[in-house]
Amino acid sequence: MWCHWIDQAATLQVEEVWVTRSDEHAVGQIHARMPLSATPPTLADVAERAGVSRQTVSNAINNPDLLRPDTLVRVQESIDALGYSPNRAARNLRTRASHLIGMRIGPAQEGTANATMDRFVHSLVETSREAGYHVLLFAGTGSRTDPVAGYDDLLRSTAVDAFVVTDTYLGNPQAAWLQERRAPFVAFGRPWDTLQHGGQARHSWVDVDGAAGTELATRHLLDKGHHRIAWIGWRKDSRIGEDRRSGWSRAMHGRGLPTTGLASRVEDTVVSGREASAHLLDSAQPTAFVCASDTLAMGVLHTLRDRGLRAGEHVAVVGFDDSQVAQVVPPGLTSVRQPLEQVAVEVVSALEALLAHPPVSGSGVMLTPTLAVRGSS
Amino acid sequence: MWCHWIDQAATLQVEEVWVTRSDEHAVGQIHARMPLSATPPTLADVAERAGVSRQTVSNAINNPDLLRPDTLVRVQESIDALGYSPNRAARNLRTRASHLIGMRIGPAQEGTANATMDRFVHSLVETSREAGYHVLLFAGTGSRTDPVAGYDDLLRSTAVDAFVVTDTYLGNPQAAWLQERRAPFVAFGRPWDTLQHGGQARHSWVDVDGAAGTELATRHLLDKGHHRIAWIGWRKDSRIGEDRRSGWSRAMHGRGLPTTGLASRVEDTVVSGREASAHLLDSAQPTAFVCASDTLAMGVLHTLRDRGLRAGEHVAVVGFDDSQVAQVVPPGLTSVRQPLEQVAVEVVSALEALLAHPPVSGSGVMLTPTLAVRGSS
DNA sequence: GTGAAAGCGCTAACAG
DNA sequence: CTGTTAGCGCTTTCAC
């Protein structure tokens, strides 16, 4: 019986087995125990067993059509019998590729509803696998002094083939730095700074049209009969925030409605959303709120609770990101949902183009969000 | 001016530079442009520049105390000047180690408040880095037929040094399978099946004492004057669920209070929590709820809203996991918080022991959760 | 179609 | 303390 190399060790079977190293003297020997940490079979082992050269086995794996069908079958059978899988390190060394894509993961944001990145990571891992890649996570340095240290290290040691960069807000040095190094990367997020200056993006990116999302949300509320719809967004220096805000004002102005006095720009915290909504309710009596994030929307829900108002009955609320919070909070928070699964697909697709020969540095892809309607509107 | 190898390409400086490959003829030449994808410097480049052998450079990195101080300084200076970083693939091939730890990531659970894994991943990445490891994420196969395919692949291709296994519920085949293969891994979660049979755990694990958490939660409510405290937990076949339940009943019985008719066991969904709490309110008039998860607790909040009751005023509610939801939902959900940062530290510590020579397969580590008190209690 | 030779960049073992 | 030698397992020439 031919079994996988490690089964031999595990089950301690007394069988005629091939040893894992190509040691001719051991072939056909009886082994009561294999060493516990037996080294996996190599190309040479497979070759010997199949009666071909190492090269032929390599071809069977990487260029199967070069082999004669019967040879291929024989080699394949040996591969299966031995449970062979090419050694990654050796392959990486030879091909100068790791089939790993790096992604920096920041500290978990507590006290907010921001879980976009987590949902995205899931999707990215799934999609990468189909393209033959794994995702390598690395931490932000934590030190303000060198925000690109993690990237630098991975790049110089050729640990990853490419990066996925997720926080491409204006002034973020990573994209520019990676570009300068000619490091392959795809950004989840527009290159705001480049677009600002009317230039062409010089790197691949995928993004979701935030303005389209908030416009969708605002139209939804308008269709429900609301006229005084307030906006709670981020501070003016946030490009993403201003983009999302523009969707709200576009929808309002599109119906000939004024926006004066209905907007507020604050930090992205629950407390800020709570305070901003309280002020707006006092000053402008809105019947609905569109928010730049679920976090801010939760702040609105706090204010409504403070005042004995019920979301979805007295005042409508819409958030942004369709976080878990939006999904489970009573009575359900209507929220703009980013198509993160599709973002992942586009990111991987751009990555593949980037790593092809010759590399294709595609331009941007813009995706449109949807609206998850729930009890709050 | 000596600059990092890639800076040369990026800034297109006209300088006297060392080329990246050890090509004697090029030393001291003037280069207007370096090739855009110049290969990083190797050990040989550093050695040549420092006037030592390759081995000495290797020692400078891996065994600095073997070098004479002045030699070390000279080598270090060359390393810095060239921006040298050892090629991972080559090192991995030679040392038979990847310095990567694999972790399977399941699909994102929508419609629940379960974000434990995400918080844990963050912590794990941070902690691993300090130990010189990176985290490699891989996806569940999705196919029910072979739940260990991802592990198998990574293991056989020697892509990772070890695994962190997170879902060790009873009957989960992964732990047993990995153990059989002699694959180094640490479980986040007790080996329930082994403990059940009174045996010693044969693999390293780290877990959080769920019963202690619910006991803490229940005592907190008892101290607030509640007597009729209901439990909403998971189905009986969940070992974790039964463990958490035991903390509640222990606290209740400890004060001589009955638990009959106060417990409910349902699926881990918001809807189940909502229905269960509605039933319990009708049948047993509890004044407080302790739940096995934040998801179930959110179900309770739904019921309270349905009935015009206010959490924290009319009825107290405590959840489990201290999810983002618990943190932002009005009026704040009191919740048992797992010390995930500490779990990560213990996991990495166990991993290091496992990968040491000789490997130390430590037994289990049990950590105690805390209670995050908020408006709902 | 298949095989032989060379070498990716590094480190373990030994020699000086 | 430093240098020499060898080889990790694989794939890319290039013969045959």
The tens digit of pLDDT for each residue in B15-52 reads 222 233 333 333 333 222 333 346 889 999 999 999 99
What is the percentage of chain B residues whose pLDDT exceeds 70?
Answer: 86
* Averaged pLDDT score across all residues of chain B: 86
Q: Contact at 8 Å (CB) between B314 and B303? A: no
| Residue B323 near chain A (CB below 8 Å) | yes
| Residue B324 near chain A (CB below 8 Å) | yes
Return the closest nucleotide (C1') to the Cα of B63: C11
**Residue A22 CA distance to nucleotide C4 C1' (Å):** 18
Flag whether pLDDT at B144 surpasses 60. Answer: no
**Residue B95 CA distance to nucleotide C13 C1' (Å):** 14
> What's the confidence (pLDDT) of residue A22?
32
Instruction: Work out the average pLDDT over B327-347.
Output: 97
Question: In chain B, whose CA is at the least distance from the CA of A37?
Answer: B182
> What's the confidence (pLDDT) of residue A39?
81
Q: Contact at 8 Å (CB) between B355 and B133? A: no
Residues in chain A: 377
DSSP A111: T
Classify residue B171 as left (phi > 0), alpha (psi -120 to 50) or beta. Answer: left
User: CA-CA distance, A99 to A281, in Å (whole number)?
Assistant: 53
Distance from CA of B295 to the nearest CA of A (A): 7
Q: Which residues contact A282 (CB under 8 A, 6 or more apart)?
A: none
CA quadruple B171, B174, B175, B177: dihedral sign: positive
Return the closest nucleotide (C1') to the Cα of A94: C8
Classify residue A312 as left (phi > 0), alpha (psi -120 to 50) or beta. Answer: left
- A84, A90, A91, A97: CA torsion to nearest 10: 140
CB contact under 8 A, B328 and A298: yes
> What's the confidence (pLDDT) of residue B11?
35
Q: Select the highest-mean-pLDDT range: A318-322, B63-67, B175-179, B202-206.
A: A318-322
Closest of A232, A196, A208, A220 to residue A346, by C-alpha? A208
Q: Which residues contact A46 (CB under 8 A, 6 or more apart)?
A: A57, A75, A78, A79, A82, A84
User: CA-CA distance, B15 to B28, in Å (whole number)?
Assistant: 9
pTM, whole model, 2 decimals?
Answer: 0.88
Q: Contact at 8 Å (CB) between B156 and B94? A: no
| Residue A357 near chain B (CB below 8 Å) | no
SS3 A245: helix
Question: What residues of chain A lie within 8 A of the CB of B123, using their CB?
Answer: 108
Residue that is written with structure tokens 């399941």 in the block? B106
> What's the confidence (pLDDT) of residue A116?
83
For residue B143, what pLDDT band results from cuts at 50, 70 and 90?
low
For residue B351, what pLDDT band results from cuts at 50, 70 and 90?
very high
For residue B174, what pLDDT band results from cuts at 50, 70 and 90?
confident
User: CA-CA distance, B162 to B154, in Å (whole number)?
Assistant: 10
Dmax over CA atoms of chain B, in Å, equals 90
Q: Which residues touch strand D (CB under 7 A)?
A: A 39, 42-44, 54-55, 58-59, 61-62, 84, 86-87, 90-91, 93-95; B 51-56, 59, 66-68, 71-72, 90, 93-94
Closest of A330, A313, A328, A332 to residue A371, by C-alpha? A332
User: CA-CA distance, A318 to A329, in Å (whole number)?
Assistant: 13
CB contact under 8 A, A88 and B98: yes
SS3 A206: strand
Question: Of B83, B93, B112, which has the smallest distance from its Cβ to A156's Cβ?
Answer: B83
User: CA-CA distance, B147 to B141, in Å (whole number)?
Assistant: 6
CA quadruple A213, A214, A219, A221: dihedral sign: positive
> What's the confidence (pLDDT) of residue A363?
80
- Other CB atoms within a 10 A radius of the CB of residue A249 amount to 19
SS3 A349: helix
Asked whether residue B90's C-beta has any atom of DNA/RNA strand C within 7 A, the reply is: yes
Distance from CA of B100 to the nearest CA of A (A): 9
| Residue B182 near chain A (CB below 8 Å) | yes
| Residue B153 near chain A (CB below 8 Å) | yes
DSSP A16: E
Residue A297 structure tokens: 């929307």
SS3 A163: strand
Question: Of A40, A96, A138, which has the smallest distance from its Cβ to B125's Cβ?
Answer: A138
> What's the confidence (pLDDT) of residue A36?
37
Question: Of B84, B115, B134, which has the smallest distance from its Cβ to A118's Cβ?
Answer: B115
Per-residue three-class SS string for chain B: CCCCHHHHHHHCCCEECCCCCCCHHHCCCEECCCCCCCCCCCHHHHHHHHCCCHHHHHHHHHCHHHCCHHHHHHHHHHHHHHCCCCCHHHHHHHHCCCCEEEEEECCCCCCCCCCHHHHHHHHHHHHHHHCCCEEEEEECCCCCCCCCHHHHHHHHCCCCCEEEECCCCCCCHHHHHHHHCCCCEEEECCCHHHHHCCCCCCCEEEEECHHHHHHHHHHHHHHCCCCCEEEEEECCCCHHHHHHHHHHHHHHHHCCCCCCCCEEEECCCHHHHHHHHHHHHHHHCCCEEEECCHHHHHHHHHHHHHCCCCECCCEEEEEECCCHHHHHCCCCCEEEECCHHHHHHHHHHHHHHHCCCCCCCCCEEEECCEEECCCCC
Q: Contact at 8 Å (CB) between A72 and A41? A: no
| Residue A356 near chain B (CB below 8 Å) | no
| Residue B339 near chain A (CB below 8 Å) | no
What are phi and psi for residue A314, nearest 5 degrees? -90, -40
| Residue B298 near chain A (CB below 8 Å) | yes
Question: What residues of chain B lie within 8 A of the CB of A324, using their CB?
Answer: 110-115, 323-325
Compute and round to an integer the Cα radius of gyration of chain B. 28
Flag whether pLDDT at B133 surpasses 90. Answer: yes
- pLDDT tens digits, one per residue of A7-56: 443 333 222 232 333 333 333 332 223 333 468 899 999 999 999 989 89
Question: What residues of chain B lie within 8 A of the CB of A160, using their CB?
Answer: none
User: CA-CA distance, A245 to A211, in Å (whole number)?
Assistant: 7
**Which residue is nearest nucleotide D8, judged by alpha carbon to C1' distance?**
B94
Distance from CA of A256 to the nearest CA of B (A): 35
Residue A37 structure tokens: 């940490």
Which CA distances in Å does A130 have to A134, A201, A342, A350, B106?
Answer: 9, 28, 14, 14, 15
CB contact under 8 A, A93 and B87: yes
> What's the confidence (pLDDT) of residue B142?
58
Write out the H or E segment, with its range, that includes residue A326: helix A324-328
Question: What residues of chain B lie within 8 A of the CB of A121, using their CB?
Answer: 105, 121, 137
CB contact under 8 A, A112 and B324: yes
Residue that is written with structure tokens 């009873």 in the block? B170
Question: In chain A, whose CA is at the least distance from the CA of B157?
Answer: A87
Instruction: Work out the average pLDDT over B367-375.
Output: 98
What are phi and psi for residue B371, nearest 5 degrees? -115, 125
Instruction: Work out the average pLDDT over B242-264.
Output: 97
Q: Contact at 8 Å (CB) between B275 and B281? A: no
User: CA-CA distance, B196 to A92, in Å (whole number)?
Assistant: 44
B82 vs B200, higher pLDDT:
B82
Mutate: best of B13, B103, B124, B134, partner A, most A CBs <10 A: B134
Contact map slice: A 185-214 vs B, CB within 8 A: none
Which CA distances in Å does B285 have to A368, B224, B276, B279?
Answer: 48, 17, 12, 9
Asked whether residue A156's C-beta has any atom of DNA/RNA strand C within 7 A, the reply is: no
* Intervals of chain A under pLDDT 70: 1-38, 141-145, 170-171, 195-201
